[in-house]
Amino acid sequence: MVKRINSPEDLEKLRSEIIAKSKAEKHIVSVCVGTGCIALGADETINVLEKEVEKHGLKGKVEIKKVGCVGFCEQGPIIIIYPEEICYLKVKPEDVPEIVSKTLVDGKIVERLVYTDPNTGEKISKLGEIPFYKHQLRLLLANNGRIDPKSIEDYIAVGGYKALAKALFEMKPEEIIEEIKASNLRGRGGAGFPTGIKWETTRNAPGEPKYVIVNCDEGDPGAFMDRALMEGNPHSVLEGLIIGAYAIGAHEGFVYVREEYPMAAEHISIAIKQAEEYGLLGENIMGSNFNFKVTVHRGAGAFVSGESSALMTAIEGKVGEPRPKYIHTAVQGIWNKPSCLNNVKTWACVPLIILRGAEWFRSIGTKGSSGTMIFSLVGKVNNTGLVEVPMGITLRDIIFKIGGGIRGGKKFKAVQTGGPSGGFIPEWLLDTPVDFDELKKVGSMMGSGGMVVMDEDTCMVDAARYFVDFLLEESCGKCVPCREGLKELSRILNNICRGEGKEEDIQLIEDICETMREASLCALGRTAVNPVLTSLKYFREEWDEHIKDKKCRAKVCKALINYYIDPELCQACTLCLRECPVGAIHGDKEHVHWIEQEKCIKCGTCYEVCRFGAVKKISGEPIPPPPKGMKPIRKRGE
């Protein structure tokens, strides 16, 4: 039977009780069960772990915790053993018996499962010393490896809801808003609007009731930090939301979770239920006379619905399309009442600011952007995963120091920040610090935190085309500049990628972009121009090559490339011949293979399967004639 918390003293008493209970000398084995690690079999690992712990009679001394995303996704599935902080990577179910017997029983480290520095070969077992983690400043993600997201008691044990107690009993709503303003917290959803001012506007706007909303739509492809936070520490977001509601004077809140994140929706729903049971949500929170209830609203698969006015319309049960924001949603939002919408990460910052103070928060980061930011570092980088860093760190440090550089030893070409609303940043601008204003200056934006790394094999024209096509499909269609502009841009860019580009196209693209930027109804249309314009600005030679020379230097655009088997490297193993879905490859075990160009559909299978690197992609050059009847030059030892 859960005892309701009716005062801050009750909370502290409960906290000490929980901590005392877990004081026993024991190991905690945290297994990451975020969506990514589950996809790699973490479920099965847990089954084996439970059996092995039982087998060795360790049941009272070892606690198995299912934790949320710890961020080092490239090396998943991950297990962290506390209190030593031993981090095991790429753990398979078969590895578990050894982990239990060697580490939990004998106290020794399983060397082969520990991080190996790719340059020095050094083995690093402690989580905090792994380069990926060493250079990060994990404030929001600090507890993701330590707590079971489905347990409110775990959250309380690490200091949860202390900020709420302080806010409700030691601060007045106006003081809270002043504190948030003083911290210079800026919205982590994309635009970077000062959060304190948004809260103040909502509080002062005429009209009751007022609403607060968590935006967990995270529509940017390649971004999953909100997912990790919601899955791994939903209470941190909830606590921030309750504090915000109290400061603004709202008694009802919504959490909008996108349909593609079922686990996040489940975890926040459980958190809400638990908070209500413990008296930390609902009527008379903690005995403070403040009432606040929260409902979860799931999305249904629409990128544009992540825009704040669109999201509010969706919560009303209507089609989630944006409206022109002559009047801010903070003044007239859901059902035309003042509504304050903030991103998941923004809400999660609030308890930290309340507890440690605005000055502390401002001391991290840059003058214009305080605090930390979580980026999802993805694409062609070695250490794909979630990175939390102080604002002001350079892109170069994130990609190379933390990210470990480009995978496969390829050359860096561009990094795309801010999702489809952001832009491409080339190599010579890599020392740009991550800061709301600095990123805008180079033509991109912070956005929600997606950071996609691209290498020499990425075509910058094709990448711009990809974003335009994406936005074209997601556009709500209400306004002419966005709807018609994207349609035209898509037609032109697809033509260029097909080798049908014309010289006049570039000027036309720029004209269309200018109109879209000035006249679109919402930010989707206005910022849709960023990928196209930055690609043109920084990679103009690739565009000229596509249009004038019909050449794609990254060898991506199908119409501009041909697959060719180098007769000097081919070993006539017949593998590509057999795998070719259209039978376009000729040859046999005694003769070098060659591709019949008219049949080739350029699917890339032969390129993928060849073990000798004999299949090449060529572009903008004449195709050498097929070497019919040539014998292969056998490599020694093959």
CA–CA distance, 584 with 378 (Å, rounded to integer): 35
- Interface with another protein (CB under 8 A), residue total 61
Contact string (CB under 8 A) for another protein, positions 439-478, x = contact: -----------x-x-x---x----x--xx--x---x-x--
Closest CB to another protein among 179 and 226? 226
Cβ 384 to another protein, closest distance in Å?
4
| Phi, psi (rounded to 5 degrees) for 238 | -60, -45
* Alpha carbon distance 168, 242 (integer Å): 10
Centre a 10 Å sphere on the Cβ of residue 288 and count the other Cβ atoms it contains: 16
Q: DSSP assignment, residue 329?
A: T
CB-nearer residue toward another protein: 379 or 390: 379
Give which of 170, 369, 177 is closest to 288, Cα–Cα.
Answer: 170
Beta strands 450-455 and 412-417 are antiparallel
306 binds another protein (CB under 8 A): no
Angle, helices 344-356/225-232, rounded to nearest 10 degrees: 60
Q: Least distance in Å: CB of 288 to another protein?
A: 28
Q: Which is closer to another protein, CB of 199 or CB of 538?
A: 538
Whether 356 contacts 390, CB under 8 Å: no
Site for another protein contains 222 (CB under 8 A):
yes
Q: According to CB under 8 A, which residues from 169 to 208 bind another protein?
A: none
Task: Give the CA distances from residue 67 to residues 40, 46, 236, 420, 447, in Å, rounded to whole numbers and listed in that order.
Answer: 15, 11, 14, 31, 27
Residue 603 interacts with another protein (CB under 8 A)?
Answer: yes
149 forms part of the interface with another protein (CB under 8 A):
no
CB of 531 to another protein, least distance (A): 10
Residue with tokens 């580009």: 501
Binding test (CB under 8 A) with another protein, winner from 97, 207, 221, 282: 221
**199 alpha-carbon distance from chain centroid:** 26
| Stretch in the footprint of another protein (CB under 8 A) among 43-51, 69-77, 561-569, 624-632 | 69-77
CB of 252 to another protein, least distance (A): 12
Q: Which residue spans within 293-370 are E strands per DSSP?
A: 293-298, 339-343
Q: Which has the closest alpha carbon to 105: 63, 60, 53, 150?
A: 53
Task: Compute the least distance from the CB of residue 633 to another protein, in Å.
Answer: 26
151 touching another protein, by CB under 8 A: no
Please give the full DSSP string across 366-429, using - where no structure is assigned.
-SSSBSEEEEEEEESBSS-EEEEEETT-BHHIIIIIIT-SBGGG--EEEEEESGGGSEEEEGGG
Among 384, 444, 530, 619, binds another protein (CB under 8 A): 384
User: CB-based contacts of 543: which residues, under 8 Å, 6+ apart?
Assistant: 460, 461, 496, 506, 535, 536
Q: Does 530 bind another protein (CB under 8 A)?
A: no
Q: What is the nearest approach in angstroms of another protein to the Cβ of residue 611? A: 12
Query: Shortest distance, CB of residue 67 to another protein, whole angstroms?
Result: 16
The secondary structure of the chain in percent helix, strand, coil, rounded to multiples of 5, reads: 45, 15, 40
Give the nearer residue to another protein in terms of CB position, either 12 or 260: 260
Contact 442, 422 (CB under 8 A): no
Binding of residue 298 to another protein (CB under 8 A)? yes
Q: Which is nearer to another protein, 204 or 295 (CB)?
A: 295
394 binds another protein (CB under 8 A): no
Only segment of 71-79, 155-163, 164-172, 240-248 that touches another protein (CB under 8 A):
71-79
- In order of 162, 194, 327, 344, 451, the CA distances from 181 in angstroms are 21, 7, 22, 18, 28
Asked if 92 interacts with another protein (CB under 8 A), we say: no
Q: How far is the CB of 134 from another protein (least distance, A)?
A: 19
Q: Find, among 608, 512, 623, 613, the residue nearest to 564 by Cα.
A: 623
121 binds another protein (CB under 8 A): no
Residues 314-333 that bind another protein (CB under 8 A): 314-321
Q: Which of 211, 219, 222 is nearest to 190 (CA)?
A: 219
Question: Least CB distance from residue 552 to another protein, whole Å?
Answer: 14
**DSSP H or E run through 261:** none
For another protein, the binding residue among 113, 140, 302, 513 (CB under 8 A) is 302
For another protein, the binding residue among 132, 224, 278, 538 (CB under 8 A) is 224
Determine if 402 is a binding residue for another protein (CB under 8 A). no
Strand partners, 561: 619
Q: Which residues 568-587 are close enough to bind another protein by CB under 8 A?
A: 579, 581
What does the per-residue mask of binding to another protein show for 36-55, with x meaning CB under 8 A?
Answer: x-xxx---------------
For the bound state, the minimum distance from the C-beta of residue 493 to another protein, rounded and expressed in Å, comes to: 15
Q: Is 528 exposed, middle or buried (0-12, 13-18, 19+ CB in 10 A)?
A: buried
Nearest Cα neighbor of 303 from 474, 155, 143 is: 474
Eight-state DSSP code of residue 155: H
CB closer to another protein out of 325 and 558:
558
- Does 154 contact another protein by CB under 8 A? no
Which is nearest to 349 in space by CA: 271, 237, 216, 223? Answer: 237
In degrees and rounded to multiples of 5, residue 84 shows phi and psi of -70, -15
Contact yes or no for 453/378 (Cβ under 8 A) = yes
Q: Which of 114, 603 has the CB closer to another protein?
A: 603
Residue 427 interacts with another protein (CB under 8 A): yes or no: no
Q: Would you say 184 or 448 has its CB closer to another protein?
A: 448
- To another protein, the closest distance from the beta carbon of 575 in angstroms equals 10
d(CA 358, CA 637): 67
Residue 99 in contact with another protein, rule: CB under 8 A: no
Q: Does 234 contact another protein by CB under 8 A?
A: no
**Least spacing, CB of residue 303 vs another protein, in Å:** 6
Task: Select the residue interacting with another protein from 32, 42, 46, 73 (CB under 8 A).
Answer: 73
378 near another protein (CB under 8 A): yes
User: Shortest gap between Cβ of 11 and another protein (angstroms)?
Assistant: 32
Nearer to another protein by C-beta: 36 or 187?
Answer: 36
Query: What is the C-alpha separation between 405 and 415, in angstroms, rounded?
Result: 12
Q: Return the residues of window 235-294 that contact another protein according to CB under 8 A.
A: 259-261
Nearer to another protein, 566 or 579 (CB): 579
Q: Distance (Å, rounded) from C-alpha 433 to C-alpha 237?
A: 27
Structure tokens at 365: 């980061």
Q: Which helix (H) or strand (E) holds 66?
A: strand 62-67
- d(CA 328, CA 515) in angstroms, rounded, equals 23
| Residues forming the site for another protein (CB under 8 A) | 35-36, 38-40, 73-74, 76, 218-224, 227, 259-261, 297-303, 305, 314-321, 376, 378-380, 384-385, 416, 419-420, 450, 452, 454, 458, 463, 466-467, 470, 474, 476, 579, 581, 603-605, 608-609
